[in-house]
Structure 1
């Protein structure tokens, strides 16, 4: 039982790496086929609505905690 589970875990790890590479290629070719700026804008809007996650600034309390710790050390 345990022997059959271990190879499955390894296969999952192997499958994740090619998916990441495909993501990089899709970003490089994001505007493929768009001849006008309007088409590019439509593709950006569609991506924002459906599957792109924009980076979000961390909540301010994370920095406040770090500052408090530095103040206590000094």
Structure 2
């Protein structure tokens, strides 16, 4: 993330398989960011807004998935 997407900050967690990605520095509306992630990046990451609170500027990334979900042949 630091190398390829330095504007996205990772909130460190102590014991979970979920990562909260802070997207505020992108200055990009969440709808537009999701559109780009889905159509250009071919990835789907949960929009933090559905969790309420300060989720408006965050993505929730599940890093506890099976290898087949994140590796390509």
Q: TM-score, normalised by structure 1?
A: 0.25
Larger relative contact order (Cα-Cα within 8 Å, sequence gap ≥ 6): 2
Structure with the higher helix share, 1 or 2: 1
Q: TM-score, normalised by structure 2?
A: 0.25
Structure with the higher strand share, 1 or 2: 2
